[in-house]
């Protein structure tokens, strides 16, 4: 689990959700799960949880991408510390976090992505990024 510099935003993977104590100690209040191939995390009930089963390959329904991105944006606008996680913590979480930042800040998706990837490793799927760009920002 790593925090995006200057934001109440963390990126992670299912291993991070298996340690709810660390999540709570970091001050995180909401978890956005994005992996379509992972079981639902067992989290304490005081954490807000959103689950959007997304795939890397770009075949996600546009409404689901928008809902996931707008949810992250809403947490950011409300200053709610949020963990966004996917299978590896380097693709879906990075893309949806970037989309949330872009929507919250009113900046281009590529600019938001650039800021997100400075926080650590990323392996962004061109198909997923393209689908987000076309569906939400064009």
| Placement of tokens 């938001």 in the chain | 112
Specify the pLDDT at position 137.
86
Token duo for residue 92: 């879906």
| Placement of tokens 């919250």 in the chain | 104
- Low-confidence stretches of the chain (pLDDT beneath 50): none
| Placement of tokens 């909401």 in the chain | 30
- Angle between helix 92-105 and 126-136 (nearest 10): 20
Radius of gyration of the chain (CA): 13
- Angle between helix 62-77 and 92-105 (nearest 10): 60
Specify the pLDDT at position 40.
86
Specify the pLDDT at position 35.
86
As a whole number, the mean pLDDT across the chain is 95
Domains, the chain, in order of start with CATH, read: 2-136 (3.90.190.10)
Specify the pLDDT at position 33.
96
Specify the pLDDT at position 79.
98
């Amino acid at each position: 689990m790593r925090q995006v510099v200057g934001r109440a935003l963390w990126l992670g993977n299912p291993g991070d959700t298996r340690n709810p104590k660390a999540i709570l100690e970091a001050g995180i209040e909401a978890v956005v799960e994005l992996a379509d191939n992972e079981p639902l995390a067992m989290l304490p009930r005081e954490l807000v949880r959103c689950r959007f089963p997304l795939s890397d390959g770009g075949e996600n329904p546009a409404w689901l991408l928008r809902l996931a991105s707008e949810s992250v944006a809403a947490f950011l606008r409300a200053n709610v510390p949020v963990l966004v996680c996917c299978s590896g913590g380097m693709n879906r979480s990075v893309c949806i976090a970037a989309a949330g930042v872009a929507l919250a800040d009113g900046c281009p998706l590529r600019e938001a992505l650039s800021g997100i990837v400075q926080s650590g490793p990323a392996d962004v799927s061109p198909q997923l990024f393209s689908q987000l760009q076309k569906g939400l920002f064009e």
